[in-house]
């Protein structure tokens, strides 16, 4: 396990976006997949995470509705991960948090379920120079919506670079196939999951295999609504064994799972929901629970 000094170097609100660092890997450009077996090199980035859409409330600033969406702002690059279920709720929460969708550079879709792609049309209609990353197994009609817009479509399968410091995991085969988002914060790798249909522990392993870095924090949908307490306690132990120091199950994780993670992770459990925002550095400045 890493020392707590590394974890202290990860999260703090930033008033001004930090200058970007750049990745120099011969032959690997934005949207390129890492050759199988090769390590995807991610530079350290500074910025802010925001949960735009979730069925769990955080501070009352956003409406809650079944689904998930997260925004990652890195100064010169803005990445949107999933778009929730209801386009009207999504648009309302975007406005409530003062987000300009025309400024989004990259949209990463974790999987094809409607509670993660429902706001796709809202994002495409916002215009801007947008690149959309989705598993190549996505249904034709969703790919066509992107192709019929002004956005660029990137179909992923292996771990794929989105921008310096940010990449998708490889697509893990499940029902449905799914990818997660990796962000190198400098203090460690943060993994954002949509619904973890392949298993959150398997997404963590995929992230660590792709980058050679341990996952410091994982948050998003864990899809554990039907799990019993014994299996949840086993999952908590497994994630700790993989080096995950901070856990924040949201969306489809379920109340029992959130309780198990709260008790298992103690002060390193974060109870998040729609409207939560966090920058990169110092967890002591972050709201940890409602």
Q: Cα separation of 105 and 76, whole Å?
A: 9
Question: For residue 39, what pLDDT is reported?
Answer: 65
Question: For residue 113, what pLDDT is reported?
Answer: 92
Question: For residue 133, what pLDDT is reported?
Answer: 99
Question: For residue 78, what pLDDT is reported?
Answer: 97
Question: For residue 18, what pLDDT is reported?
Answer: 30
Q: Cα separation of 19 and 1, whole Å?
A: 30
Q: Cα separation of 240 and 223, whole Å?
A: 18
Chain-centroid distance of CA 103 in Å reads 18
Question: For residue 35, what pLDDT is reported?
Answer: 56
Contacts of 259 (CB under 8 A, 6+ apart): none
Each domain of the chain, given as residue ranges in start order, spans 7-13+38-283
Q: Pull the structure tokens for residue 9.
A: 């170097």
7-13+38-283, what's its fold? Metallo-beta-lactamase; Chain A (3.60.15)
DSSP string covering the chain? ---HHHHHTT----SSPPPPP----TT--TTPBPPTTPPPP------EEEEEEESSBSSSSS---SSEEEEEE-SS-EEEE---S-HHHHHHHHHHTT--GGG--EEE---S-HHHHTTHHHHHHT-SS-EEEEETTS-HHHHHHHHTSSSEEEEESS-EEEETTEEEPPPBPSSS-B--EEEE-SSSEEEEES--TT-HHHHHHHHHHHHS--EEEEEEE---TT--HHHHHHHHHHHHHTT--EEEEEGGG-HHHHHHHHHHHGGGB----BT-EEESS-GGGS----
Which parts of the chain sit beneath pLDDT 70? Answer: 1-31, 34-39, 280-290
Q: Cα separation of 40 and 209, whole Å?
A: 9
- Residue pair 169/203 in contact (Cβ under 8 Å)? The answer is yes
Question: For residue 290, what pLDDT is reported?
Answer: 27
Q: Cα separation of 214 and 210, whole Å?
A: 10
Question: For residue 270, what pLDDT is reported?
Answer: 96
- The whole-model pTM stands at 0.86
Question: For residue 225, what pLDDT is reported?
Answer: 83
């Amino acid at each position: 396990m890493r020392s707590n000094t590394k974890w202290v170097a990860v999260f703090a609100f930033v008033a001004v976006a930090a200058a970007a660092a750049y990745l120099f890997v011969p032959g690997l450009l934005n949207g390129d997949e890492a050759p199988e077996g090769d390590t995807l090199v991610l530079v350290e980035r500074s910025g802010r995470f925001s949960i735009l859409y979730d069925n769990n409330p955080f501070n009352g600033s956003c409406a809650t509705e079944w689904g998930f969406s997260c925004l990652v702002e890195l100064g010169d690059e803005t990445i949107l991960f999933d778009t929730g279920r209801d386009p009207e709720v999504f648009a309302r929460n975007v406005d409530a948090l003062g987000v300009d969708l025309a400024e989004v550079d990259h949209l990463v879709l974790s999987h094809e379920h409607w509670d993660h792609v429902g706001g796709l049309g809202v994002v495409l209609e916002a215009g801007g120079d947008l690149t959309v990353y989705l598993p190549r197994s996505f249904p034709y009609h969703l790919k066509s919506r992107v192709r019929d817009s002004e956005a660029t479509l990137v179909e992923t399968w292996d771990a794929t670079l989105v921008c310096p410091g940010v990449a998708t995991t490889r697509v893990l085969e499940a029902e449905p196939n799914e990818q997660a988002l990796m962000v190198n914060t400098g203090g460690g790798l943060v993994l954002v999951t949509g619904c973890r249909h392949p298993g959150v522990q398997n997404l963590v392993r995929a992230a660590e295999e792709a980058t050679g870095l341990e996952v410091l924090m994982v948050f998003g949908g864990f899809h554990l609504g039907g799990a019993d307490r014994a299996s949840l306690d086993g999952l908590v132990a497994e994630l700790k064994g993989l080096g995950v120091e901070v856990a924040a199950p949201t969306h489809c994780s379920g109340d029992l799972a959130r309780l198990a993670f709260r008790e298992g992770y103690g002060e390193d459990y974060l109870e998040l929901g729609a409207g939560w925002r966090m920058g990169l550095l110092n967890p002591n400045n972050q709201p940890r629970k409602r």
